[in-house]
């Protein structure tokens, strides 16, 4: 997958996303590969808030909004309905943030993965509940300062490590799962293409930096998405045919290079 081979046509236009939003970039890039024969199912996270406020529709594909816990359950319904309509060729893509995936949406995701429905689930991970004002989620990394893990006399920020979603979804023995970063778009897009070809459920977990939530200048989004991988704060990996594969990207840097650029880790550097 080469960036220059991507279609010029934008399927995400007119969103109210913040400048430098990693999440909207993750969706925009994915839709370049997924194409117009796609249905998005999403929840009231940042993505819904910035793309589908009536009469706005910032996608050139249909979008089904559903309750926070139920992205994957609604996916199963859409898949079943399209099958009855004889439209099985339409790709059903669930998109949720980390809260809507690893926390409140986990039960529904597990159910849909276990049922083996044919869909792609993309978690755009900005590592906290950004839409509601930067509260910690199960995907918040150790040490991060959030509004519910504020740094103070008795707290050094988030006191638990990030939930390992790749292993959780892999435990369902699905066809394909991968982590990605918007800082490595060619790798991410290759994985979206792979997910499209998978028979059954496929899962992508894409790190998507958030300028207001992480506390950095908006032009640093892509740099941080790369630094996260180069410093080992985030790993690029794939699960396929029952095997995990961790990718080496080179250009290793100390973790401080990543932490130093973000207010959420200011107390650690």
Partner 1 sequence: MALRRFLNGNEALAEAVKLAGVEVVAAYPITPQSPVVEKIAEFISKGEMESEYIRVESEHAALAACYGAAVTGTRVFTATSSQGLAYMFEMLHYVSGSRMPVVMAVANRGMAAPWTIWADHQDSVSCRDTGWVQLYVENAQEALDTCLQAYKVGEDPQVLLPVMICLDGYTLSHTEEPVEVPEKEEVDAFLPPLRLPVALDVENPVVFCAGAGPELYTEFKYQQQQAMYAALLKLKEADAEFAARFGRSYGGTVEPYQCEDAAVILVTMGAVTGTAREVVDGLRACDQKVGLLKIKSFRPFPAQEIRDILSRAGAVAILERDCSYGYEGALCTEVKAALLGLDGPPKVYGFIGGLGGHDITREQITAIYRYCLEGVQPGYGTDHFLDVAGARDEN
> Can you tell me the distance from the alpha carbon of 192 to that of 198, in angstroms, rounded to the nearest whole number?
10
Question: Going along 163-266, which residue ranges are E strands?
Answer: 176-181, 202-207, 237-240, 243-246
Residue 17 or 108: the one with the smaller Cβ distance to partner 1 is 108
Residue 129 or 265: the one with the smaller Cβ distance to partner 1 is 129
The residues of the shown chain that bind partner 1, judged by CB under 8 A, are 36-39, 41, 44, 48-49, 52-57, 59-67, 69-70, 73-85, 87, 90, 107-108, 110-111, 114-115
Instruction: Kindly state the smallest distance separating residue 41's Cβ from partner 1, in Å.
Output: 7
H or E element that contains 108: helix 106-115
Instruction: Kindly state the smallest distance separating residue 45's Cβ from partner 1, in Å.
Output: 12
Instruction: Kindly state the smallest distance separating residue 121's Cβ from partner 1, in Å.
Output: 14
Long-range contact set of residues 184-189: C-beta below 8 Å, sequence gap at least 24: 184/225, 184/226, 184/229, 184/236, 184/249, 185/3, 185/29, 186/1, 186/2, 186/3, 187/236, 187/247, 188/26, 188/29, 188/30, 189/1, 189/3, 189/6, 189/29, 189/30, 189/32, 189/33
Instruction: Kindly state the smallest distance separating residue 79's Cβ from partner 1, in Å.
Output: 8
Q: What are phi and psi of 27, to 5 degrees?
A: -70, -45
Strands 176-181 and 237-240: what pairing? Answer: antiparallel
Instruction: Kindly state the smallest distance separating residue 89's Cβ from partner 1, in Å.
Output: 9
């Amino acid at each position: 997958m080469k960036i220059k081979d991507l279609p010029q046509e934008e399927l995400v236009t007119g969103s109210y996303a913040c400048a430098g939003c990693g999440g909207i970039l993750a969706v925009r890039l994915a839709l370049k590969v997924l194409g117009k024969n796609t249905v998005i199912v999403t929840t009231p996270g940042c993505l819904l808030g910035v793309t589908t406020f009536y009469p706005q529709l910032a996608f050139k594909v249909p979008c089904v909004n559903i309750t926070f816990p139920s992205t994957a359950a609604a996916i199963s319904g859409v898949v079943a309905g399209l099958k009855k309509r004889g439209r099985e060729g339409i790709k059903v893509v669930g998109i949720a943030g980390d809260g809507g995936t690893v926390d409140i949406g986990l039960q529904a995701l597990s159910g849909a993965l276990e049922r083996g429905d044919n869909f792609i689930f993309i978690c755009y991970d900005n590592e906290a509940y950004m839409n509601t004002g930067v509260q910690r989620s199960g995907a918040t990394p150790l040490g991060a300062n959030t509004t519910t893990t504020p740094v103070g006399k008795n707290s050094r920020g988030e006191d638990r490590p990030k939930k390992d979603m790749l292993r959780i979804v892999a435990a369902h023995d699905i066809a394909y799962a991968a982590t990605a970063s918007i800082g490595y778009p060619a790798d991410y897009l290759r994985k979206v293409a792979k997910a499209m070809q998978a028979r059954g459920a496929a899962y992508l977990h894409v790190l998507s930096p958030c300028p207001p939530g992480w506390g950095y200048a908006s032009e640093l989004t892509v740099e941080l998405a790369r630094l996260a991988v180069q410093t080992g704060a985030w790993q690029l990996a794939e699960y396929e045919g029952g095997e995990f594969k961790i990718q080496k990207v080179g250009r290793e840097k100390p973790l401080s290079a990543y932490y130093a650029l973000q207010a959420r880790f200011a107390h650690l550097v």
